[in-house]
Amino acid sequence: MSNIINGTEIAKIIKDEIKKDIENLQGKKPCLAVIILGNDDASHIYVNNKNKACDYVGIKTDTYFLDDSISEVELLSLIEELNDDTSVNGILVQLPLPKHINEKNILFKINPLKDVDGFHPYNIGLLSTNSATLKSCTPSGCMEILKRYNVEIKGKNALVIGRSNIVGKPISMMLLNEDATVTTAHTKTKDLEYLTKQADIIIVAIGVANFLKPHMVKEGVILIDVGINRFDGKLCGDIDFSCSNKASLITPVPGGVGPMTITMLMKNCLIAYKIQNNINIEEN
Ligand code: NAP
């Protein structure tokens, strides 16, 4: 079996599972409201991909294309409306937001039960007590990859490089919840190479092209690359792909973690719908 993880294939399998689950809702469809401000090309491409994935699995989408001159108060009042609208199950605000809007104020306004990005402190708090239902999408995608490739996490030394609120910290908590011994590294970490050489599982989420090199890892390590960078005009991750010669499993960029993020968003929309309609959520 190849040691290169096929994220596109896993994402397709999960999307088909979600689609089937939604078909069983007897004609009812979860609804995701997406708010996007301004004309940033990358954000528009991303929102377009989300909408396509929603169509595929059977999630209804309402996209709000707003001028980036909108005030924070106006945006907060739209979120309040969507919070109160019982036909809307999930709310997603496309980041980044313009400088005059406080991102935290916006994200914290979203009803935690509709917080399909899993960024609300309520959901982060639940994650830290291992009781979350809505978990942030990219970290969940990494965990799902490990699960689908039957990686034993319990008791393993897991190293997460990067401590952002949206990737590094939540993935560290998820690994801890699965009984790994977790170290979280960042720019102030001393002797990172010592840590990388001890690790059985390394997740890199820093945004530095080809940062992790083969001499830094041990034979048989499992490598998950969250990074998305452009180097010499080509897309690449935070892990130098020649590490694949030492790794027992490695995610490529593109085609690894990337396709999982939108898929886990679809999963969260379905979970949010079920929570709001008192439908039992099986193992998640
Ligand atoms: P971020 O908010 O910029 O955080 C980067 C983190 O990496 C920080 O904690 C920083 O440490 C740490 N870091 C940076 N350089 C480092 C170095 N040389 N050594 C050790 N730590 C270092 O980034 P993010 O939002 O987490 O995203 C990280 C990467 O993942 C980016 O390439 C982003 O595009 C990608 N991403 C991909 C997906 C996906 O769907 N695949 C989703 C989200 C993000 P300090 O805290 O000390 O500054």
- Domains defined along the chain, listed by start: 26-111 (3.40.50.10860), 137-258 (3.40.50.720)
Helices (H), the chain: 7-23, 41-57, 72-84, 103-109, 121-128, 137-148, 168-177, 192-198, 258-276
User: What CA dihedral angle connects 50, 201, 221 and 163, to 10 degrees?
Assistant: 70
pLDDT of 40: 84
pLDDT for residue 284 is more than 60: no
Burial of 138 (0-12, 13-18, 19+ CB in 10 A): buried
pLDDT for residue 215 is more than 70: yes
Other CB atoms within 10 Å distance of the CB of residue 202: 28
Residues 150-169 have a mean pLDDT of 98
Nearest CA to ligand 1 atom 24: 164
Residues 36-44 have a mean pLDDT of 88
Residues 163-179 have a mean pLDDT of 98
Spell out a b/e string for 217-242, using b for 16 or more CB atoms within 10 Å of the CB, else e: beeebbbbbbbbbeeeeeebbbbbbe
Q: Is the CB–ligand 1 distance for residue 214 below 6 Å?
A: no
Compute the distance from residue 245 Cα to the ligand 1 centre, in Å. Answer: 24
Residues 108-134 have a mean pLDDT of 97
Q: Is the CB–ligand 1 distance for residue 95 below 6 Å?
A: no
Structure confidence at residue 12 as a pLDDT band (50, 70, 90): very high
Dmax over Cα atoms in the chain, in whole Å? 56
Structure confidence at residue 46 as a pLDDT band (50, 70, 90): confident
DSSP characters over 149-201: TT---TT-EEEEE---TTTHHHHHHHHHHTT-EEEEE-TT-S-HHHHHHH-SE
Residues 167-178 have a mean pLDDT of 98
Residues 231-253 have a mean pLDDT of 97
**205 near 214, Cβ under 8 Å?**
no
pLDDT for residue 133 is more than 60: yes
Lowest mean pLDDT among 39-48, 120-129, 131-140, 256-265: 39-48
Q: What is the pTM of this model?
A: 0.96
pLDDT for residue 82 is more than 80: yes
Compute the distance from residue 59 Cα to the ligand 1 centre, in Å. Answer: 30
Structure confidence at residue 45 as a pLDDT band (50, 70, 90): confident
Compute the distance from residue 206 Cα to the ligand 1 centre, in Å. Answer: 3
Cα–Cα dist 58/67, whole Å? 28
Q: Is the CB–ligand 1 distance for residue 254 below 6 Å?
A: no
pLDDT for residue 283 is more than 70: no
Q: Is the CB–ligand 1 distance for residue 186 below 6 Å?
A: yes
Q: Is the CB–ligand 1 distance for residue 140 below 6 Å?
A: no
Q: What is the mean pLDDT of the chain?
A: 96
Residues 66-93 have a mean pLDDT of 97
Catalytic residue annotation: 50, 94, 117
pLDDT for residue 66 is more than 90: yes
